[in-house]
Amino acid sequence: MSILDKATLHLPMGAAYKSGSVWMSKPLTDDGYFAYTRDSAATRITDCGEVSNVSGNVPRPSYTNGIPGLLIEDTKTNLITNSVNLNGSFTNAGSTSSQNSAPSPEGKINAVTIGCSDSNAHYYTIVSTANAGVQHVFSCWYKGTAGETVRMRSLNSGTGAVDGSKLITFTGEWQREYISFVPGTNYSYAYIVDRRTGVGTATSFQVYGAQIEFGSAPSSFIKTTGSTATRARDSFRITGNRALPYIGGSQGTIYFYVYYKNNGGSNQQFMYYTDASSSQSYMFVNSSRYVVTNPNLGSMQSSVQLVDGSFNKVAVKYMPGKQQMYINGQSVATGTASTILNHSNIDLGSYAGSSEFGLMEFIEYAHFDQVLSNEEMISLTTL
């Protein structure tokens, strides 16, 4: 018997979904689903590693290393107006760019081939001063000869200061790379390649899907064709006290299997549980990458940090006077909260589907209406 057989709610890996709903394997009733909304089209990564377009209100299982995790993201805008036909937004200087010259991560012949044999070659776009002082992140897919390198960077036009820079080493496959930067009061340049630094060995490579957005880490790709475009936020919720029979009471265990990506924020939420009066119990990753619970779940902070770009299994068991957290097979925190809320509603990956988004890929979730043993917690959370 699997430990997950004891769960009262179980959202399994690769859960079934349709427009507006993601279905759980437990309970097997009409109530066994998360309501889902997203008021725009969006993209995901398929099991074949391709970028795929998804209609509004359709959930997005996105694959990392062959493992599907549900994307739950905040509203984001791609500030690059031509994210595939890059010559509409980028300028050649000593470089060349050939549109629709190779297969892209989208599975179409719409990648751009960049030629940069000139030692002064650069291919750039200008970032407006309208949001000076706000952190931006610039991302793009690259594909080149394995072992060759290019320099991706941003530059403040007024001061000449390098805001962000990364030496990319090609793997021979498509790879999404990014840098973060803060534009000053003078406009900034963002370079897909800049050979003027004297660094970089590649003289030809392919690119696809350029994106500039607010934040410190890239969200899923937002395609643009002549103007900026916005992807609406994702909302995964069980409301109307529909979860009360499964998560209510004064004791239980909460389990998550996630692919963690650090967005630099202070509240990357796993979940919010609320009761009938909207009092909250929640768990999140703080800005230092520690997993934290609020006072209603023991005010715990993990003794280990999550690693950016890593798979993690996290679980918390609770009862009045005693709480304990496990991460990847280890006990990492304890708490002594005396009062436990009678939970009745669930928000997954954000608060009320509107703030504090996790940027994690949610692979699996379960709730148990009982406190698991230490041995079961170790087994449940071991990768």
User: What pLDDT sits at residue 249?
Assistant: 96
Burial of 46 (0-12, 13-18, 19+ CB in 10 A): middle
Number of Cβ atoms within 10 Å of the Cβ of 63: 18
Q: Which domain holds residue 160?
A: 78-231
pLDDT tops 80 at residue 334: yes
| Domain end position, chosen among 171, 198, 231 | 231
| Residues 7, 69 share a domain | yes
| Domain end position, chosen among 199, 231, 263 | 231
Q: What is the CATH number of the domain that holds 153?
A: 2.60.120.260
Give pLDDT tens digits for 240-287: 999 999 999 999 999 999 999 998 878 999 999 999 999 999 999 999
Is 138 strand, coil or helix? strand
Residue with token string 């679980």: 315
| Residues 131, 35 share a domain | no
| Residues 240, 370 share a domain | yes
| Residues 269, 147 share a domain | no
| Residues 258, 239 share a domain | yes
| Residues 258, 152 share a domain | no
Give pLDDT tens digits for 6-58: 999 999 999 999 999 999 999 999 889 999 999 999 999 999 999 999 999 99
Q: What is the CATH number of the domain that holds 284?
A: 2.60.120.200
pLDDT tops 90 at residue 131: no
| Residues 251, 376 share a domain | yes
| Residues 31, 164 share a domain | no
Q: In this prediction, what percent of the chain has a pLDDT beyond 90?
A: 89
Burial of 109 (0-12, 13-18, 19+ CB in 10 A): exposed
d(Cα 61, Cα 12) in Å, to the nearest integer? 12
- Average pLDDT in the chain: 95
pLDDT tops 80 at residue 226: yes
Q: What are phi and psi of 197, to 5 degrees?
A: -75, -10
What per-residue string of b and e applies to 343-361 under the rule 16 or more CB within 10 Å gives b?
A: bbbbbbbbbebeebbbbbb
User: 347, 348, 368, 377: which is closest to 360 by C-alpha?
Assistant: 348
Higher-confidence residue: 264 or 103?
A: 103
d(Cα 105, Cα 220) in Å, to the nearest integer? 13
The pLDDT confidence band at residue 86, using thresholds 50, 70 and 90, is very high
User: 115, 110, 112: which is closest to 96 by C-alpha?
Assistant: 115
User: What pLDDT sits at residue 212?
Assistant: 97
Residue with token string 């403040």: 156
Q: Which run of H or E residues covers position 206? A: strand 204-214
| Residues 169, 244 share a domain | no
| Residues 333, 240 share a domain | yes
User: 194, 170, 166, 169: which is closest to 180 by C-alpha?
Assistant: 166
Number of Cβ atoms within 10 Å of the Cβ of 21: 15
| Lowest mean pLDDT across 148-152, 156-160, 238-242 | 156-160
- Residue 212 in contact with residue 89, Cβ under 8 Å? no
| Residues 279, 363 share a domain | yes
User: 252, 278, 251, 281: which is closest to 269 by C-alpha?
Assistant: 281
How many domains in the chain? 2
Give pLDDT tens digits for 183-203: 877 788 999 999 998 889 999
| Domain end position, chosen among 208, 231, 254 | 231
d(Cα 272, Cα 336) in Å, to the nearest integer? 20
Q: What is the mean pLDDT of residues 140-145?
A: 98
The pLDDT confidence band at residue 1, using thresholds 50, 70 and 90, is confident
User: What pLDDT sits at residue 128?
Assistant: 83
| Residues 96, 204 share a domain | yes
